[in-house]
Amino acid sequence: MQPIIEMTSITKSFGPVTANADCNLTIEQGEIHCLLGENGAGKTTLMNILFGMYHADSGTIRIKGEVCDIRSTGDAFRHGLGMVHQHFMLVSNMTVLQNIILGQEIGRFKLNYKESRRQVCEIIDKYGLDLDLDARIDEISVGMKQRVEIVKTLYRGAEVLVLDEPTAVLTPQESGSLMQILLDMKAKGKTIIFITHKLNETMQIADRATILRDGCVTGTVQISETDIRALAGHMVGREVQFDLKKAPCKPGKVLLELADVKLLPQAKGTVNLTVHEGEILGIAGVDGNGQRELEEAIMGLKQPLSGSIKVDGQETTKETPLSIRHRGVGCIPSDRFHRAILPGLSLAENLLLGFQSRKHYVKHGFIDEKKLRDSTQETIISFKVKTAGPNQDIADLSGGNQQKLVLGREVAPEYRMVLAAQPGRGLDIGAVEYIHTQFLRLRSESKGILLISADLDEIQKMSDRIAVLYKGEIMDCKPADQYTVEELGLLMAGKRLSEEDEANA
Amino acid sequence: MTDLLNLFSIDNLLLILRLATPLILVALSSTISELAGIISLGTEGLMLIGAFGAVAGSHYTGSGAAGMVIGMASGAVMALLFALLCIHFKSNQTVCGVGLNLFASGVTAVGTLVIWQKEGISEQVTQLGSITIPVLCRIPILGRFFTEQSPIIYLTLLLCVLIWYVLKYTKTGLRFKAISMHPVAARSAGVSVNRYRYVALAVSGALAGMGGGFLSIVQNDVFVKNMVAGRGFLGVAANIFGGWTAFGSAGASFIFAFAQSVRFNMLKANVPDQFVQMLPYAITIIALVLFGKRSKSPEALGKIK
Amino acid sequence: MLKKKNLRPLADSVVVRSVLSILLALLVASIFILLVGKSPVLAFSSLAKGAFGNGRAVANTINKAVPLIFTGLAAAFAFKSGMLNIGIEGQLHMGALLSIVIALNMPPSAPPFLVILLCILGGIAGGMMWGALTGILKERFKIHEVIVAILLNYIAIQFVSYMINYPLKCKEGLPETEMIPQQFRFLTLVDRTQLSSNVFMALAAVVIAYLLINKTILGYKIRAVGSNPTAAAAGGIGVSGIAILSMALSGGLGGLAGTAEVLGTYGKLFDGFSSNVGFTGLAVAVLAGNNPFVVILTGLLFGIMDSGARQMNIRAGLSADMVIVIQGLVIFFVATPQIFNFLKARRREKK
């Protein structure tokens, strides 16, 4: 049987950076094929080329045996390809229906909503996808947004669906639903390409998998004939540590305390939590449930709607970000490029951020450049930041190295507590491992860490205690070993274990 | 006191309508440009080029209508060149807009000298005449609105409604809305985003050109160096104030025109001309302070990906 | 992804791009000049002659550059904080106004040094006030700074015009103020030219601006806000306050441009004394890559253009406004660095 898609010798560079080097990919009709690799391996670029968002420098694409030149997303649609992107391509102030028909509308000038509605309803009935066509995109849940993206592809007659890291934003239960939908679609004859960096997902759902590393294909395997360690080996090229050795937790006094804090207007309850010296408190939860507000409230960027926040027993709810930092609270924000680094300025100048009002590096209003440069050099060495030197523009560094500098800055001795939000996002395994090791070191030095992450694996691996955040409310908070994955998943979706039992009874 | 009541007389309302027309045109020009994602600071320059083009066109063809068309075309062409710099070459749009204003100021002044050998002011040309609408002009009081008015005024109001309709009910409008909020999403949905942008900028240029032409060959019959005198910027402000919508732009333009009309009514009073001249700008600032917070600019403004 | 190679191709250099922008602008301008039937060679040579044909011409050129250096510094300062100060023209007017009010109201026996110092401070204060107003309206009411600044420009120009024509009007009835007493003006450096010691004030301003922006903590905070306001806020910098302060300082520099003209070049204030120096300052800054020292060079460049325009008009029969066309073209090209990307491609092929 002829493969439905064949990508041969695809190479693509962006300036001096090579994203795909001589990649070969074969997709069989009716299979679920995983494209596996670390962040930055080139998976999304390869699929963007297939989908017409980019054009390859060299190589050929064959669809159903015929060579195709895909220069736009329109071409891709015509060949029966559809893509569900990692970052949703939805217009927030338009309705679900409008988003689905965009670009493929019915009607020459005036839009024919009646007919569009009929066609879309046919699709959502056929595949059992539950959607409110008149809801505005900025009012629906993440899971529903994803379903809108799927319907978009089906509306255009896609035979092959490409999904880019679809479970990154879902709870375990929502991921389960998604898997079910995909298996359903496979049964109805669709072909599915699933981009992911998660090994267990690949093992769970794929028929075959192709692994990318550093822009090259390192292997194509039949899932039934392989195991998770082999996949990891292809992905990283070396032995991967699956268990970090963690010393038992010896919590000291309370560093941070949140009492009755209301983060979101729609929250039914409030947030109560404490972080002690020498412990890692993990906040689990799907993005968008108040994590950002929690981070901003603690760091003084935005006041919570009500409640009190105390650092070292002192009320800090209404204090400025500067004074909270001076009290010893550091922060590695979730969106580091937008919120932690100053592009265009040197590494040394970036290290100064947060310390600009301390006496360290300031003499009579002037910057003590030598002292700053020496400090930066020390940090570069201790945290293994790959750079040409303290004067290099931070924007020239890779994401992982930028994060390492931010880490080096925020774990300075002046900070006794660090708030780390999604620290591993977008980084390769090596960088993530390094960061985790650093967190454990801080913990052994009696510092406190508040780890906010949507990555359940990370939370379970690192935390001493876990709290689950759902719609601005802490659903539960107890020692990590007292949770099951199932319970965590339910809490992340807003259901308590007891409720679920009742529902099933 | 009578002066105050005068502000609402038919004469003044007609004056406001005439003052508002060029403002509405540039405000609409700004709306379309910014919805397409391109900052419209060069509107002042586009308007000036349209004003010059209209006068030059009327000079060479002898017809006011032909002049107006040429004015619109000049605006459109200049806007397309600007679009090329911004879209294809990813220019810094704000600085480029300032350049456009400067360039327009220089090029029209040079053009005036070249065509008419006069420094700073052209010769008189044929205007685009007024019309009277047959039946409607008989209506008591309101009939004045249909008597001896420039067709451009009616055209402007029609354009306003047309643009509103297109944006709200048509395929083009839906795609345009998507482009203004999330161009990457529109592109991934198969919309040729850049093609829409170029068309939008051409329309935007033509509208600004029409606005300029109104100043030069409808309200006057000459081109004077820098005759636009800030109306382009008022149009940009009107668009922001009106929330990037067609009716909003029109509404805000009427408010600014009202402020301008006060100036004409105060000539009798013993107030120094400078204060009266300041009035529209001061009122604009106050209006923006009081009401400007409502709307958010289109997400994709200024970012060309 | 493979690691980025640390290339800095020549085409990325600000200097190269600026020079190319100027050359490309001159090229396009030449086409315009040919289209109107004049000779580009004659035009540019008469421009050069007008700008530095003799000693006095050079002095006048340098004098023309002074306000441009100030407005260029003002624009560069604002750019460093991530903002576009399009209100320099208005800030300039307010600075000039305050300077002349002080100068005209001091008793003639007052020590000149003190008076001049007060005028300078007044100029800075006038500009700072107008700049701060823009900043406050932007931060407090979230109005776009460009719109506010443009409106404030018109208001300032009208207000100053009122002052010139009413309270400050000179006895002869012309639309200008009285002359400032000679002892309160900047010293004329070269006889029968307009060049005065305001040149030194400009150079001092360049040095102070450079030190402030690059070596002080305040300058760091301004640059941090300019780079990434969200990250700056997260790092504890009060972004709103810095934004207003930057606009104020930028305005202060703009105000000094007014002081320079009033105390140095003209000795009085009159309608239209400025000729859009505020807007040209933006081009001066962008062309200089916002570097205070390079602003001296780009200020001189525009000064040459302004200074030589009259000769170009007389000898080559070309409208003096062609200079404005050239300036507009320079801004186009300097705002569009990607136009020069074709250079990069060629260079790689050669390798």
pLDDT in tens, C253-312: 999 999 999 888 888 888 888 878 888 898 899 889 899 999 999 999 999 988 888 888
Give residue A497's pLDDT. 63
**pLDDT tens digits, chain A, 505 residues: what are they?**
678 899 999 999 887 778 888 899 999 999 999 998 877 788 888 998 998 888 899 999 999 888 888 888 888 888 999 989 878 889 988 999 999 999 888 877 888 888 899 999 999 888 888 888 999 998 888 888 999 999 999 998 889 999 998 887 787 778 888 998 999 899 988 999 999 888 888 888 899 999 988 888 888 999 888 888 788 778 776 655 556 667 777 788 888 999 989 888 888 888 999 999 999 999 998 877 889 899 999 999 998 899 999 998 889 998 999 999 999 999 999 888 788 999 999 999 999 999 988 888 888 889 999 999 999 999 999 888 888 889 999 988 887 788 889 989 998 888 999 999 988 887 777 778 888 988 999 998 989 999 999 888 889 889 999 999 988 888 888 888 888 888 888 888 777 766 555 555 4
Q: Which of A342, A414, A428 to mutate: most C Cβ within 10 Å? A: A342
CATH number of A254-344+414-504: 3.40.50.300
Nearest CA in chain C to A354: C235
Contacts of C217 in chain A (CB under 8 A): 356-357, 362, 365-367
Under-70 pLDDT residues of chain B: 1-7, 266-269, 292-296, 305
Closest CA to C328 of B102, B13, A73, B182: B102
Asked if C165 is an interface residue toward chain B (Cβ–Cβ < 8 A), one would say yes
pLDDT score of C156 more than 50 = yes
**Bridge partners, residue A18, by sequence:** A13
Give residue B48's pLDDT. 96
Per-residue tokens: C18: 């600026």
pLDDT score of C207 more than 90 = yes
Q: Test A342 with C231 for CB contact under 8 angstroms.
A: yes
- Our CA-based measurement puts residue B68 at a distance from the nearest CA of chain C, in whole angstroms, of 23
**Is C285 buried (19+), middle (13-18) or exposed (0-12) by CB count in 10 A?**
buried
Pairs across A and B, CB distance < 8 A: 68
Q: Test C235 with A354 for CB contact under 8 angstroms.
A: yes
Cβ-nearest to A356 among C1, C2, C220:
C220
Taking only the tens place, the pLDDT of each residue in A141-191 is 888 899 999 999 999 888 999 999 888 778 777 888 899 899 989 998 899
Give residue C6's pLDDT. 38
Give residue C345's pLDDT. 59
Q: Test A102 with B169 for CB contact under 8 angstroms.
A: no
Q: Test A396 with C6 for CB contact under 8 angstroms.
A: yes
Q: Test C322 with B94 for CB contact under 8 angstroms.
A: no
Give the contacts of A187 (CB within 8 A, at least 6 positions apart): none
Q: Test C236 with A320 for CB contact under 8 angstroms.
A: yes
Asked if B270 is an interface residue toward chain C (Cβ–Cβ < 8 A), one would say no
Asked if C224 is an interface residue toward chain A (Cβ–Cβ < 8 A), one would say yes
Q: Test B190 with A111 for CB contact under 8 angstroms.
A: no
**Is C35 buried (19+), middle (13-18) or exposed (0-12) by CB count in 10 A?**
exposed
Distance CA B161, CA C136 (A): 37
Distance CA A118, CA C350 (A): 59
Nearest CA in chain B to C339: B89
Give residue B57's pLDDT. 94
Cβ-nearest to B190 among A74, A92, A98:
A74
Domains, chain B, ordered by start: 7-130+145-291 (1.10.3470)
Give residue A104's pLDDT. 83
For A17, the 3-state DSSP assignment is strand
Distance CA A333, CA A338 (A): 9
Annotation: CATH topology of A5-236 = Rossmann fold (3.40.50)
Q: Where are the domains of chain A?
A: 5-236, 254-344+414-504
Q: Test A92 with B172 for CB contact under 8 angstroms.
A: no
H/E stretch holding A466 reads: strand A465-470
Grade residue C7 by pLDDT with cuts at 50, 70 and 90: very low
Q: Test A338 with C230 for CB contact under 8 angstroms.
A: yes
pLDDT score of C135 more than 60 = yes
Q: Test B191 with A102 for CB contact under 8 angstroms.
A: yes
Contacts of C339 in chain B (CB under 8 A): 85, 89
Nearest CA in chain A to B170: A110
Annotation: CATH topology of C15-27+58-335 = ABC transporter involved in vitamin B12 uptake, BtuC (1.10.3470)
Give residue C4's pLDDT. 37
Long-range contacts of A178-184 (CB under 8 A, 24+ apart): A178/A143, A178/A146, A179/A204, A179/A205, A181/A127, A181/A128, A181/A129, A181/A150, A182/A32, A183/A32, A184/A127, A184/A128
What Cα–Cα distance (Å) separates residue C68 from each residue in A419, B177, C80, C153, C256?
Answer: 48, 42, 18, 17, 11
**Is A339 buried (19+), middle (13-18) or exposed (0-12) by CB count in 10 A?**
buried
Burial of A15-27, coded b for 16+ CB within 10 Å and e otherwise, reads eeebbbbebebeb
Chains with 3+ CB–CB pairs under 8 A to A are B, C
**Is B237 buried (19+), middle (13-18) or exposed (0-12) by CB count in 10 A?**
buried
The single residue listed with the structure tokens 């960027």 is A301
Asked if B182 is an interface residue toward chain A (Cβ–Cβ < 8 A), one would say yes
* 8 A C-beta contact, residue C325 and residue B110: yes
